[in-house]
Structure 1
Amino acid sequence: MNIARLKNFTEIVKNNFNISATAEKLYTSQPTLSKQMKMLEEELGLALFTRKGKNLSGLTPMGEQVMELARGVVAQVEQIGQLSLGDQLATSGVLRIATTHTMARYKLPAVITEFSRRYPEVSIQLHQGAPAQLAQMAQNGDVEMAIATESMHLFDELATVPCYRWGRSVVVPHGHPLLDCQPLAMADLARYPLITYVFGFTGRSKMDKAFGRHGLSPRIVLTATDSDIIKHYVRLGMGVGVIATSAFDEGDRESLVCLNIDHLIASSVAHVCLRRHAHLRDYMYDFIHLYAPHVNREAVQLALLNQGTPAPSATLPWL
């Protein structure tokens, strides 16, 4: 079977069945790519694509199955190619990381600074997005790893390495009435307009469930994917902010007060997510270790092979 055709097949799916865009990305022509897909279907004796007129519109049920297998084959071939590059590339290359704004802004700066000191020939590319987008990037091979909380379990092709627990805090201006409510209760929060993360983003679903358990509905007046945006609108007086505790720093104390609510909402777990069976260069293992010093190389390798038992969340350090 022609591996190049399988790779081009996966690229067409990745580009939303746009033959022209895929051909441009692969530096080939649209007729050549269309001919390759026709030959692949003939070779397999299967219809892989659904069509609307002359345009591809999706995958047939059999096409979906072939796609899952093709992804694995292409990934394995890419790994063989990487292995053949030899040791000289072990300290140079590109490390693409998909993560949330909170992680990129508050946890990763120290990690990236030290990593760049150790590996000056490695270029780092940060890609931000919602957790489902981050996971999809990792599964598609668009990034080497994703660091996020939500949605990772929905992607079977991802290996997840639990790294940290993280909690939530309420942020309010100085003098706010909630400062007199100690300890805070869910009913206290329900009395005020809330500003927090977009649903499905940075643990938002656990907050909604916590309100539901108390028979309450949060009054959310504004959502954002960026912790700094949430804090900005709290300063403007629009409402009470609910953010990751790690997103509150010393510079915020002049205008805001941070109230921990770990007793109200269960903690979440930040994972490093990788494609299963991926080949990692040494500097990638080192990056993970810099991010989570308690996670060793063996734990990552076992996760890649879908072996071993992840550490219980209660034993993980706090972010």
Structure 2
Amino acid sequence: MNLHQFRFVQEAARRNLNLTETAKALHTSQPGISKAILELEEELGVDIFVRHGKRLKRITEPGLEVMQSIEVILREVGNLKRIGQEFSKQEAGTLSIATTHNQARYVLPNPVAALRKRFPKVAISLHQGTPETVAQMVLTERAEVGLATESLSGYPDLVTLPCYEWEHVLVLRADHPLTQHPRVTLEDLAREPLISYHPAFAGRTRLDQAFTQRHLEPNFVLEAFDADVIKTYVRLGMGIGLVAEMAVRDDPLMVPGGELVSRPVGHLFGRNVARIAFKRGAYLRNFVFAFAELISERLSRESIEQAMVATSNGHEGSDYGL
């Protein structure tokens, strides 16, 4: 048996047993993958997959056990590679980060720039997507680090730690009547056309929950993936915006006398927690720890290592040591 066979089996499972998609993902041929999997099954003496003709239909019971072992083996192979890279290249390599638009646009620029200054031989690979995409990229080791507000804590194979808290702000045209209200209420917002994030992004869950708890039906007329788009449509008069507070900092449209104004609405929707994620059992290089420390004062190499050890021993590691 060999690592190629293990990767073929793992990728086939990830691709819903579609060998055509598996072959595309691994840049090889479908017959080659089929042959390699059959040879592995013959060597193990068990069927990993149930077949219908040439198609894979489902994973067998012994196949599930084989899959767990393959996950461990390939994870440790990845760790060996990272160990070799760290000790052979010292402070060089590529840091792959999976995150959402808000984090990439408003939170990460300074930490990334500081990391590059400290580790000039480290290249940064930045991937943007939904929180679910962020989680999957870390789980499949396409990214070493994930950063998002929604969803990350719901994956048992991820170690997630809180980085910082933030609240939503209301974005209004300077001439909107709500700018004169001393304290905006949920009832005020429910009467207005609202522009905010897609339900998968940036604490949108809290917005929906707050309205539901008050038995109000908000009128979301436009949903977007990033705050820049939301602010653009607010400027056009389509409605009022709800965005993350970091999206209005240093915005020239928000200066006194500018086109837009913002109002904090944390009293309506509460505080959101942005979290950093690592794959459980992964080997983290020195510059990964350094990057985490640059993102948040809450994070340190010691706290991250404690969380990784605690989770690998079967304990919840989400807020360990923080």
Superposed pair shares fold, TM > 0.5: yes
Which residue of structure 2 lines up, in the alignment, with residue 108 of structure 1?
108
Does the CA-based 8 Å contact 1:90-1:281 persist in structure 2?
Answer: no
Distance 1:232 1:185 in 2: 24
The CA deviation at 1:170 is 0.8
Moved more, 174-183 or 132-141: 174-183
The CA deviation at 1:105 is 0.7
Distance 2:61 2:231 in 1: 46
**Distance change (3 Å), C-alpha of 1:173 and 1:69:** farther
Does the CA-based 8 Å contact 1:210-1:264 persist in structure 2?
Answer: yes
Aligned residues: 314
Distance 1:218 1:45 in 2: 59
User: Quick check: 1:276 aligned with 2:277?
Assistant: no
Deviating above 6 A after TM superposition, structure 1's stretches of 4 or more consecutive aligned residues are: none
Deviation string for 1:125-176 (max 9, x for gaps)?
Answer: 1111110111011101111111001111232111101111111011010021
Give the 5 Å matches for 1:1-319.
Answer: 2-23=2-23, 26=26, 28-51=28-51, 53-56=53-56, 59-60=59-60, 63-64=63-64, 66-85=66-85, 87-250=87-250, 251-253=252-254, 254-305=258-309, 306=311, 311=319
The CA deviation at 1:106 is 0.7
**Distance change (3 Å), C-alpha of 1:172 and 1:86:** closer
* SS of corresponding position for 1:295: coil
Moved more, 285-294 or 40-49: 40-49
The CA deviation at 1:65 is 5.0
**Distance change (3 Å), C-alpha of 1:53 and 1:258:** farther
Does the CA-based 8 Å contact 1:14-1:140 persist in structure 2?
Answer: no
* SS of corresponding position for 1:188: helix
Deviation string for 1:92-113 (max 9, x for gaps)?
Answer: 1111101111111111111111
Does the CA-based 8 Å contact 2:210-2:269 persist in structure 1?
Answer: yes
Deviation string for 1:35-60 (max 9, x for gaps)?
Answer: 11112333444443355542335545
**Distance change (3 Å), C-alpha of 1:7 and 1:152:** same
* SS of corresponding position for 1:142: coil
Superposed CA RMSD: 2.4
The CA deviation at 1:255 is 1.6
Moved more, 196-205 or 26-35: 26-35
* SS of corresponding position for 1:263: helix
Does the CA-based 8 Å contact 1:48-1:60 persist in structure 2?
Answer: yes
Q: Which amino acid aligns with 2:71?
A: R
Q: Which amino acid aligns with 2:230?
A: I
Q: Which amino acid aligns with 2:184?
A: L
Distance 1:135 1:219 in 2: 30
* SS of corresponding position for 1:84: helix
Distance 1:308 1:38 in 2: 38
**Distance change (3 Å), C-alpha of 1:93 and 1:16:** farther
The CA deviation at 1:115 is 1.1
Distance 1:278 1:149 in 2: 22
Distance 1:169 1:24 in 2: 44
Distance 2:44 2:275 in 1: 38
Q: Which amino acid aligns with 1:252?
A: L
Distance 1:3 1:245 in 2: 47
The CA deviation at 1:206 is 1.1
Deviation string for 1:209-262 (max 9, x for gaps)?
Answer: 000111111111110111111111111111111110111133231221111011
